[in-house]
């Protein structure tokens, strides 16, 4: 596996709450181009492990990629999880002066336009990509933002002071609604639906614990939010190792036993790919070769992170033809029905395939 990773120096660690820290990296000028990112994206971090050599984890960027001021730095925010090896190791061991090995920013949980009106939902540490979107849209966009932020109690609120200041600086554009379980109990689908109702023409972004996201997305669906205006960030612990030279696990294909076998093409496949405004056309995509691997062999810098079907950084949308995913831990039935597939796990089924990364 040819995965380019970078050793970045930690220049600051800030205690956000009792169990959450923000970690800021210094980005050397000679690799700065690799770390240009969009609000809502994440870094994949290598955490040392005695068992596997490395535990790879994805942590959202809480900083903003706006060009002015100190926000040109790179910051992730990590919250301890119970029995979570990587998050506890980072919070216990990483200090200013430490170095961490990371992959370049990735992810598709980002607004198409910063001028859109945004309805944002965050639960707990799900605020991390959401505050990056908020900061950037306020600095560079023109749209209005409503943020619903759910937490266990007041002490659990990450970025409390930042949100207070942003609200004061942008009273005409930003409304923050805090929902505390200690005061109001857990939000119900009916309460979320009532909250969402005035904003049905806006673009919704949801990040947080799985039950919170499931409830929020259900409320959005009830109000007939179309799929293209409904976004959610999904993370699972990466079982594989995208840092290729660190005690990599055996390279074994993983198949979904519940998926029926589909007869594949008998020869090379025609592939059309839309990526970053460019169209790439190939006539030699070989059966059994994953889409991401084919594009890399052709010199196309397609997005990815885990390479294991466990995140959505490599997601594409099918425009024509069909592919089969060898492994999928992140896309749900609705995603699949909308034609979304994982590039790192997709092999061709039809003789012609057309996809877009938009």
Same-domain check for residues 138 and 94: no
What does the pLDDT read at residue 261? 43
Q: What is the DSSP string of 250-295?
A: P------TTSPP----SS-EEEEEEETTEEEEEEEEPTT--HHHHH
Does residue 51 fall inside a structural domain? yes
* Distance separating alpha carbons of residues 312 and 306, to the nearest angstrom: 9
* Distance separating alpha carbons of residues 250 and 238, to the nearest angstrom: 15
* Distance separating alpha carbons of residues 318 and 291, to the nearest angstrom: 12
CATH number, domain of 44, equals 2.40.30.10
* Distance separating alpha carbons of residues 295 and 345, to the nearest angstrom: 13
pLDDT tens per residue, range 102-126 = 988 888 889 999 999 999 999 999 9
> When comparing pLDDT for 304 and 183, which is higher?
183
pLDDT tens per residue, range 219-255 = 999 999 998 899 988 765 555 667 765 433 333 232 3
Does residue 17 fall inside a structural domain? yes
What does the pLDDT read at residue 39? 95
Does residue 163 fall inside a structural domain? yes
CATH number, domain of 284, equals 3.10.20.30
Same-domain check for residues 129 and 84: no
Q: What are phi and psi of 328, to 5 degrees?
A: -155, 115
Same-domain check for residues 79 and 180: no
Same-domain check for residues 122 and 99: no
Number of domains in the chain: 3
Same-domain check for residues 125 and 91: no
* Distance separating alpha carbons of residues 37 and 30, to the nearest angstrom: 16
> When comparing pLDDT for 188 and 54, which is higher?
188
Provide the residue range defining the domain that includes 148: 118-232
Strands 203-207 and 323-325 come out as unpaired
When the pLDDT of each residue in the chain is averaged and rounded to a whole number, the result is 87
Q: What is the DSSP string of 293-355?
A: HHHHHTT-----SSSSSSSSTTEEEEEES-EEES--SS--HHHHHTTEEETTTEEE-SSEEEE
| Average pLDDT of the residues in 147-155 | 97
Same-domain check for residues 81 and 142: no
């Amino acid at each position: 596996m040819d995965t380019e990773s970078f050793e970045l120096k930690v220049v600051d660690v800030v205690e956000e709450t009792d169990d959450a820290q923000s970690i800021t990296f210094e980005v050397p000028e000679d690799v700065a181009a690799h770390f240009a990112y969009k609000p809502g994206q994440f870094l994949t971090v290598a955490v040392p492990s005695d068992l596997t050599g490395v535990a790879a984890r994805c942590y959202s960027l809480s900083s903003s990629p706006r060009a002015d001021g100190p926000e040109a730095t790179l910051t992730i925010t990590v919250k301890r999880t119970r029995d979570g090896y990587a998050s506890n190791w980072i919070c216990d061991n990483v200090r200013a002066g430490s170095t961490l090995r990371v992959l370049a920013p990735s992810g598709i949980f980002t607004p198409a336009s910063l001028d859109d009106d945004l309805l944002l939902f965050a639960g707990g540490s799900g605020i991390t990509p959401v505050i990056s979107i908020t900061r950037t849209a306020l600095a560079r966009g023109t749209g209005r933002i409503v943020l619903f932020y759910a937490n266990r109690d007041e002490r659990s609120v990450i970025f409390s002071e930042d949100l207070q200041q942003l609200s004061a600086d942008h009273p005409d554009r930003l409304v923050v609604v805090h929902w505390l379980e200690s005061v109001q109990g857990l939000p119900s689908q009916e309460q979320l639906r009532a909250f969402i109702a005035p904003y049905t023409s806006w673009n919704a972004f949801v990040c947080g614990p799985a039950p919170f996201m499931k409830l929020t997305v259900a409320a959005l669906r009830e109000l007939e939010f179309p799929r293209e205006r409904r976004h959610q960030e999904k993370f699972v612990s990466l079982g594989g190792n995208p840092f290729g030279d660190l005690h990599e696990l055996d390279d074994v294909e993983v198949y979904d036993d519940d998926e029926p076998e589909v007869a594949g093409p008998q020869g090379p496949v025609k592939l059309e790919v839309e990526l970053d405004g460019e169209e790439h056309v190939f006539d030699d995509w070989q059966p059994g070769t994953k889409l991401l691997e084919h594009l890399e062999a052709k010199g196309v810098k397609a997005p990815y992170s885990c390479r294991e079907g466990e995140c959505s950084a490599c997601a594409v949308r099918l425009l024509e033809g069909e592919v089969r995913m060898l492994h999928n831990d992140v896309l749900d039935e609705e995603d699949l029905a909308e034609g979304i597939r994982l590039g790192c796990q997709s092999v061709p089924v039809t003789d012609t395939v057309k996809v877009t990364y938009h």
